[in-house]
Amino acid sequence: MELLKLVSIKEAKEIIEKNSTYKIETEKINILDSLGRILAMDIYSNENVPDFVRSTVDGYAAQSEDVFGASESLPAILKLVGEVKIGQTPPCEINAGECMYVPTGGMLPKGADTVVMIEYTEKLDHETILVNKPTAPLQNIVEIGEDVKKGELILKKGTKIRPYEIGVLSSLGILEIEVYKKIKVGIISTGDEVVDPKEKINLGQVRDINSYLLYSLCEEEGVEPTLYGIVKDDYEKLRETLDRAIKECDVVIMSGGSSVGNKDETVKVIKSFENSNIFIHGIAIKPGKPTIIGKIGEKFVYGLPGHPLACAVIFKNFVAHYFDKLRGFEREDFWIECKMAVNYHKAQGRAEFLPVRIKVENGELIAYPTYYKSGLISCFSKSFGYIYIEKELEGVYQGQRVKVFKF
Ligand SMILES: Nc1nc2c(c(=O)[nH]1)N[C@H]1C(S)=C(S)[C@@H](COP(=O)(O)OP(=O)(O)OC[C@H]3O[C@@H](n4cnc5c(N)ncnc54)[C@H](O)[C@@H]3O)O[C@H]1N2
Ligand code: MOO
């Protein structure tokens, strides 16, 4: 029986990168439809935001020199020369010894360099204001271009659009942006024992988890999944479904039948396509060892392990990574540092992704492994994230500080 030739995680990622030649087209969309999409252009600001000096409080625009040293016992006395209306330009400039009422968000009159909050003033009569607290130059104001400067690169190609990016774009009046089209991903579950959850199952059968798991993982990545259903371990049917999926999608993910058993047809079926090339069959990772990654023409085809946990771990590490490459997205992984609750001995020869949940004990974050087998699914839903244990290590010790990455 042929043994799988395992590549390391690093090698697998490099192979994926080297083979990422497929081009994803771009499209122009309204910013309200752009949440989670990846920007396909650099965006420069063509104006200053704000483009006028703006007050951040309700109060009196004044010259800071005039209110320097003002106090309750010795207030500064200013002449009120008018009022700024919100959304309008000030009626006039102010000079030394003068002030003008300005609302929050109102434009500062020329001559003013500070705004005294209304709470620190007293209106003596219709044209006299007493100020009993000093304000420094530039206090309580937003300067021209303080938010965004004209000509500034505000969003880089490859940025994932969040609500905050949409806010910045609307502040500049940019309502249409160019993003990568959603990557179309075909999902095929295989296995004689796998049954659609809508149907009744018999002993020995299992409900299809992977179609649902992969579909939602795809949605989380902002790509467009299509389910091609469950295909029995039948070479012709699998070939026919893969042929259809590869024509209709940019990437195809199959699950099940990736190992070396008698009925594991995935490799045979991929190889039957004239223009196919399998560049990975086996990664030194737990869970997820018997993973297949190849191409049919220019399009990537994945054969993920049938075990649901393995399927999810491989998706996160090697499918999402490929989506990133196609869209120029640089992912940043953040972690939470925790203390390990117990000793954990890792399997030899493979790097391991160990699911954990976090508890707070005596003010410390403690990571508890949610003991798992890769054929299970519920331990992931009980976990916060995972710790990564390198291939060369034997395991992790109780009390050791570990990095917990969120799922
Ligand atoms: N002799 C060996 N046997 C196995 C090896 C090995 O190296 N030598 N590797 C094991 C590892 S590790 C994994 S992971 C699995 C992967 O197996 P396959 O990818 O070939 O998947 P199947 O055999 O088709 O299924 C495995 C398991 O998962 C269940 N399954 C499959 N599809 C679904 C689905 N859509 N929803 C829910 N569950 C699914 C299936 O019923 C099996 O229980 O191979 C080990 N064996
Ligand atoms: O790689 Mo397998 O996923 O350990 O069971």
Ligand 1 atom closest to the CA of 304, numbered from 1: 19
CATH for 353? 2.40.340.10
Give the per-residue pLDDT at 323. Answer: 98
- What spacing in Å lies between the alpha carbon of 4 and ligand 2's midpoint? 13
Residue 239 included in any domain: yes
Residue 4 included in any domain: no
User: Which one of the ligands is nearest to 310 CA?
Assistant: 2
The count of structural domains within the chain is: 4
- pLDDT (tens, 9 = 90+) of the chain, 407 residues, equals 566 789 999 999 999 999 999 999 999 999 999 999 999 999 999 999 999 999 999 999 999 999 999 999 999 999 999 999 999 999 999 999 999 999 999 999 999 999 999 999 999 999 999 999 999 999 999 999 999 999 999 999 999 999 999 999 999 999 999 999 999 999 999 999 999 999 999 999 999 999 999 999 999 999 999 999 999 888 999 999 999 999 999 999 999 987 777 667 899 999 999 999 999 999 999 999 999 999 999 999 999 999 999 999 999 999 999 999 999 999 998 999 999 999 999 988 899 999 999 999 999 999 999 977 888 888 888 999 999 999 999 999 999 999 999 98
| Peptide bond preceding 91 in cis form (omega within 30 of 0) | no
Verify that 38 and 171 share a domain, yes or no: yes
- What is the spatial distance between Cα 265 and Cα 90, in angstroms, rounded to a whole number? 77
Verify that 341 and 363 share a domain, yes or no: yes
Residue identified by tokens 């640089």 is: 330
Ligand 2 atom closest to the CA of 285, numbered from 1: 1
Beta bridge partners of 225: 185
- What is the spatial distance between Cα 223 and Cα 217, in angstroms, rounded to a whole number? 9
Q: Is 282 left (phi over 0), alpha (psi -120 to 50) or beta?
A: left
Verify that 86 and 206 share a domain, yes or no: no
> Ligand 2 — pocket residues by CB below 6 A?
286-289, 305, 307, 310, 374
CATH for 42? 3.90.105.10
Q: Are 193 and 206 in contact (CB under 8 A)?
A: yes
Nearest Cα to Cα of residue 338 among 390, 400, 389: 400
Residue 1 included in any domain: no
Residue 322 included in any domain: yes
Ligand 1 atom closest to the CA of 289, numbered from 1: 12
Range of the domain at 218: 9-25+182-327
**What ipTM was estimated for this complex?**
0.96
Give the per-residue pLDDT at 105. Answer: 97
User: Which one of the ligands is nearest to 254 CA?
Assistant: 1
CATH for 90? 2.170.190.11
* pTM score: 0.90
Q: Are 159 and 31 in contact (CB under 8 A)?
A: no
Residue 2 included in any domain: no
User: Which one of the ligands is nearest to 233 CA?
Assistant: 1
Which of 327, 353, 387 is the endpoint of a domain? 327
- What is the spatial distance between Cα 281 and Cα 291, in angstroms, rounded to a whole number? 6
Verify that 291 and 348 share a domain, yes or no: no
Verify that 113 and 224 share a domain, yes or no: no
The DSSP secondary-structure symbol of 16 reads: H
Per-residue three-class SS string for 294-336: EEECCEEEEEECCCHHHHHHHHHHHHHHHHHHHHCCCCCCCEE
Verify that 234 and 360 share a domain, yes or no: no
Q: Are 184 and 250 in contact (CB under 8 A)?
A: yes
Verify that 365 and 394 share a domain, yes or no: yes
Which of 112, 127, 142 is the endpoint of a domain? 142
CATH for 262? 3.40.980.10
- What spacing in Å lies between the alpha carbon of 8 and ligand 2's midpoint? 15
Verify that 81 and 20 share a domain, yes or no: no
Verify that 210 and 159 share a domain, yes or no: no
Verify that 59 and 125 share a domain, yes or no: yes
- What spacing in Å lies between the alpha carbon of 307 and ligand 1's midpoint? 5
Nearest Cα to Cα of residue 154 among 254, 53, 39, 310: 39
Residue 130 included in any domain: yes
Residue 73 included in any domain: yes
Residue 243 included in any domain: yes
Which of 4, 291, 307 should be mutated for ligand 1, with most atoms under 8 A from CB? 307
Which of 159, 180, 201 is the endpoint of a domain? 180
Closest residue by Cα to atom 4, ligand 2, is 287
- What spacing in Å lies between the alpha carbon of 399 and ligand 2's midpoint? 27
User: Which one of the ligands is nearest to 313 CA?
Assistant: 2
- What spacing in Å lies between the alpha carbon of 1 and ligand 1's midpoint? 17
Verify that 244 and 353 share a domain, yes or no: no
Give the per-residue pLDDT at 264. Answer: 72
Give the per-residue pLDDT at 43. Answer: 98
- What spacing in Å lies between the alpha carbon of 4 and ligand 1's midpoint? 14
Ligand 1 atom closest to the CA of 193, numbered from 1: 41
- What spacing in Å lies between the alpha carbon of 367 and ligand 1's midpoint? 28
- What spacing in Å lies between the alpha carbon of 266 and ligand 1's midpoint? 12
Verify that 209 and 291 share a domain, yes or no: yes
